[in-house]
Structure 1
Amino acid sequence: MSEHGFTTKIVHADHSLNLEAGAVHAPIHNSVPYGFKDVQGLIDVFQGQPGHAYARSSTPTLDALCKKIQMMDRGVATAVFSSGMSAIVATFLTLLKEGDHLICSRFLFGNTTSLLNTITGYGIEITLVDATDVNEVIKAKQDNTKMVFVETIANPVTQVSALSEIGDFCEAENLVYVIDNTITSSYLFDARTVKASLITTSLSKYVAGHGNAMGGSVTDTGIYSWDDYPNIYADYRKGDSNLWGISQIKKKGLRDMGACLSSQGAHLISVGSETMELRMDRQCENAMMLAEYLQAHPKVEKVYYPGLADHPQHERAKELFTGFGALLSFDLVDGLDCCELLNKLNLVISATHLGDNRTLALPVAPTIYFELGKALRQEMGISENMIRCSIGIENGADLIADFEQALA
């Protein structure tokens, strides 16, 4: 179905699996154990053959979602997890060891930054860089560097990483290049085009879309050669070497760490993904409309949105992405209280999440970036009066009217 459009492929993905009784949607398999008439079948699964033995590692429902995400990401294999954070944790802790060096964007999501503080305790060295400039990544390279990790569009200040240039550098230096594609999703950005080795995504956001399921994924694009990567355990150096990395992530992240996604959650994500293109087109349209409105408002000091011509990485975003996303932030002018404004909004919900059908907003400094402290917030470009918005699919005129009455 590669010749078909994005949505066509997604909505027909389950049906193409020739499901029992002609089902259009993959069913929810709630069973934890899976039995075998011949015990050799159970032995075969434990020794690496395809099949299901225990739901912590896999279920038919999870496999169906993996195939769908793999298709979206144009990868060779996908593993799904209980959340986007668990997908990132599994990637770091299964592919990096004590003494390794990891280069990361310093504009990462707050929880990811907190995770980096945690894994330094395991002896993994980390350097934070301005990932909008490839030269900063190049300067951070050390003899023990194994991996580079960046996001496509940063949350909440919307910096756009130098994705293509970093990909060229990682290829030249044989580094594992991990891109978190959550904010753009595979609909707006094909990470293979910039030579990503692995793609991590919080499926809870734009893929699921309805704010009713949590999940995460890691997709191996097949671009990186694992043959010479020193941290692949001997047990996983078997068969197709393209699958060594994802096999280790699955075994260690799911079987050993237990970061498993439920079949119920997988089903909700799978069904939600069918409307991703429709939702994101509307969300991007609304975000652009609201960004332009806020930019012209006298009570708004600054708007952060890659679709605006004065955004520092506007031209880069225009070249890389098919849309500018549905995340925008803005600073109010001095003297105005962002909490007072949020309390006056009627349609917009004060909540923490991204990718919901409803527009959500929150004050950044006292919530999602509170634990980082003011100094680190300033380094990341986050003001104390910043409001972050996740734009939904409401009628755009209604959103504008809500902000207009609140700002008045």
Structure 2
Amino acid sequence: MTRDLSTRILHADRAAGIEHGATHKPLHVATGYGYERTADLVSVFQGEKSGYVYGRQGNPTTAALEAKVTLMEEAVGTVSFATGMAAIVSTMMALLKAGDHVVASRFLFGNTASWFNTLQQMGCEATLVDATDAKNVEQALRPNTRMVFTETIANPRTQVADLEGIGKLCTPRGIVYIVDNTLTTPHLFRPKAVGASLVIHSLSKGICGHGNALGGSVSDTGLFDWDKYPNLLPVYRKGPPTAWGLLQIRKKGLRDLGGTLSAEHGHRIATGAETLTLRMDRTCANALAVAQCLEKQPLVSKVHYPGLASHAQHERAGKLFGGFGGLLSFETVDGCDPNDVLDALQLVIKSSHLGDNRTLALPAARTIFWEMGQEMRQSMDIAESLIRVSLGIEATADLVADFEQAFAKLTKK
């Protein structure tokens, strides 16, 4: 019997067996793990036998979360990290070497864009392009291109990358295709469908949902031929080739860099994931209603949300995704200060997080993109008046009413 994703997430722990008949995988907080026979300890260290050796490389609680993410992404395996940024940085550090070239979308989350600057300082080349058209990616490819990186929906301007077109470029060339699926989550989209090699998540966002834990992950879809990837070390070329990439990421990324997900946060994320499908359906509905409300406001000049017919990639998003996500952004007209708009809201929380059960908003150019400067913001199409809104699961009517009263108050002024 084929069961719905929501059902499979709920019963994932039980399917693998849980200690003492518990309904959730319990917390395992031990740092070290002992074995009766030294030979078993050696076998685990050398990757010949499954098991745990040291808490920095994971524990049974985070392993249960990894199995849940693997299930959601229809992948062959997952490695978890302390944050989404730790997942991105560790993956690239593990798979790239000096002289390699990476192509990435120029519409990226601010910290990810900052990482690409750091990557170039470490001897790798990076070319940022408009990934909404695969032709731009193709033109940027070089003989030493090892990786292409993009997000499904860009944060905060909501551009939707040409995910299918990029996949068709990477597969025949043996290029690792990494897709950050944070904003869509596996409920709305699975990057495996467009040929992605690896799928990144900031688990802190939609998958956790409750704003009470940090975490990240990288999942291998099983589509990439690691046997032909030149940067894999011989020591990790053991067992099925589909496992080689993640093994090197776990060893050279997680173990060596130390961005370990704690058991407590792993447990919170795994529990939050149980309501993923319910929450995402609600946040998508709320985002569309608020976006439509904002389009009618005279003090709003532009609204960016893939669910609107006015969005440049609306048709693509409708084809690829099972919903348009819970993130939108909008620009105010000249003379209307975004701070005043936010201060006029009564229900929406002024906060930097996203993917929370509560609706959050902030002035993007003055906060999360302030450090990069105005010129860089312009290259990413981030207006100085841009307000980012991450929709929660409040009653739709209450959210719409809050934006309406805020703009009514500002109009009177």
TM-score range, shorter-chain basis? over 0.9
More off after superposition, 146-155 vs 28-37: 28-37
In the TM superposition, residue 386 of structure 1 has moved relative to its aligned partner by 0.7
| Number of the residue aligned with 2:3 | 4
Taking the aligned partners of 1:127 and 1:218, their CA distance within structure 2 comes to 22
Taking the aligned partners of 1:316 and 1:246, their CA distance within structure 2 comes to 31
Deviations 1:284-336 (A, max 9, x none): 00000000010011111110000000100000000000000000000111111
| Number of the residue aligned with 1:199 | 199
Which amino acid in the other structure matches residue 47 of structure 1? Q
| Number of the residue aligned with 1:106 | 106
Q: TM-score, normalised by structure 2?
A: 0.98
Secondary structure at the counterpart of residue 316 of structure 2: helix
2:174–2:228 contact (8 Å) kept in structure 1: no
| Number of the residue aligned with 2:32 | 33
Deviations 1:204-253 (A, max 9, x none): 00000000000000000000001110000011011111111110000111
In the TM superposition, residue 397 of structure 1 has moved relative to its aligned partner by 0.6
Q: Find out whether 1:375 has 2:352 as its counterpart.
A: no
| Number of the residue aligned with 1:286 | 286
The 5-angstrom pairing of residues 51-70 of structure 1 reads: 51-70=51-70
| Number of the residue aligned with 1:129 | 129
Q: Find out whether 1:17 has 2:38 as its counterpart.
A: no
Deviations 1:90-136 (A, max 9, x none): 11111010000000000010000000111111110000000001110
| Number of the residue aligned with 1:158 | 158
2:101–2:124 contact (8 Å) kept in structure 1: yes
In the TM superposition, residue 274 of structure 1 has moved relative to its aligned partner by 0.2
Taking the aligned partners of 1:69 and 1:132, their CA distance within structure 2 comes to 27
Taking the aligned partners of 1:87 and 1:357, their CA distance within structure 2 comes to 23
Taking the aligned partners of 2:241 and 2:94, their CA distance within structure 1 comes to 16
2:151–2:179 contact (8 Å) kept in structure 1: yes
More off after superposition, 17-26 vs 156-165: 17-26
Secondary structure at the counterpart of residue 381 of structure 1: coil
In the TM superposition, residue 172 of structure 1 has moved relative to its aligned partner by 2.0
Which amino acid in the other structure matches residue 117 of structure 2? N
Structure 2 gaps, min length 5: 409-413
2:303–2:331 contact (8 Å) kept in structure 1: yes
Which amino acid in the other structure matches residue 41 of structure 2? L
| Number of the residue aligned with 1:223 | 223
2:99–2:124 contact (8 Å) kept in structure 1: yes
In the TM superposition, residue 39 of structure 1 has moved relative to its aligned partner by 2.1
In the TM superposition, residue 40 of structure 1 has moved relative to its aligned partner by 2.0
| Number of the residue aligned with 2:411 | none
Taking the aligned partners of 1:341 and 1:103, their CA distance within structure 2 comes to 37
Question: Percent of aligned positions with the same letter in both sequences?
Answer: 54
Secondary structure at the counterpart of residue 218 of structure 1: strand
| Number of the residue aligned with 1:84 | 84
| Number of the residue aligned with 2:360 | 360
Which amino acid in the other structure matches residue 318 of structure 1? G
Secondary structure at the counterpart of residue 56 of structure 2: coil
Which amino acid in the other structure matches residue 33 of structure 2? Y
Taking the aligned partners of 1:309 and 1:95, their CA distance within structure 2 comes to 39
Taking the aligned partners of 2:255 and 2:157, their CA distance within structure 1 comes to 36
Secondary structure at the counterpart of residue 177 of structure 1: strand
Taking the aligned partners of 2:142 and 2:252, their CA distance within structure 1 comes to 27
| Number of the residue aligned with 1:184 | 184
| Number of the residue aligned with 1:242 | 242
In the TM superposition, residue 20 of structure 1 has moved relative to its aligned partner by 1.9
Q: TM-score, normalised by structure 1?
A: 0.99
Secondary structure at the counterpart of residue 43 of structure 1: helix
Which amino acid in the other structure matches residue 392 of structure 1? G
Taking the aligned partners of 2:97 and 2:186, their CA distance within structure 1 comes to 29
Taking the aligned partners of 1:105 and 1:79, their CA distance within structure 2 comes to 24
Q: Find out whether 1:251 has 2:257 as its counterpart.
A: no
Deviations 1:169-221 (A, max 9, x none): 10121111000000101110011110000000000000000000000000000
Q: Find out whether 1:397 has 2:397 as its counterpart.
A: yes
| Number of the residue aligned with 1:43 | 42
Taking the aligned partners of 1:296 and 1:405, their CA distance within structure 2 comes to 13
Which amino acid in the other structure matches residue 38 of structure 2? V
Taking the aligned partners of 2:323 and 2:171, their CA distance within structure 1 comes to 26
In the TM superposition, residue 37 of structure 1 has moved relative to its aligned partner by 2.0
In the TM superposition, residue 19 of structure 1 has moved relative to its aligned partner by 1.2
Deviations 1:142-184 (A, max 9, x none): 1111110000000111000000010001012111100000010
Deviations 1:247-296 (A, max 9, x none): 00001112111110000010000000000000000000000000001001
Secondary structure at the counterpart of residue 303 of structure 1: strand
Taking the aligned partners of 2:104 and 2:28, their CA distance within structure 1 comes to 38
| Number of the residue aligned with 1:269 | 269
Aligned length: 407
Which amino acid in the other structure matches residue 6 of structure 1? L
Taking the aligned partners of 1:204 and 1:376, their CA distance within structure 2 comes to 26
Secondary structure at the counterpart of residue 242 of structure 1: helix
Structure 1 gaps, min length 5: none
| Number of the residue aligned with 1:345 | 345
Secondary structure at the counterpart of residue 14 of structure 1: helix
Q: Find out whether 1:301 has 2:301 as its counterpart.
A: yes
Secondary structure at the counterpart of residue 372 of structure 2: coil
Which amino acid in the other structure matches residue 382 of structure 1? I
Which amino acid in the other structure matches residue 370 of structure 1? W
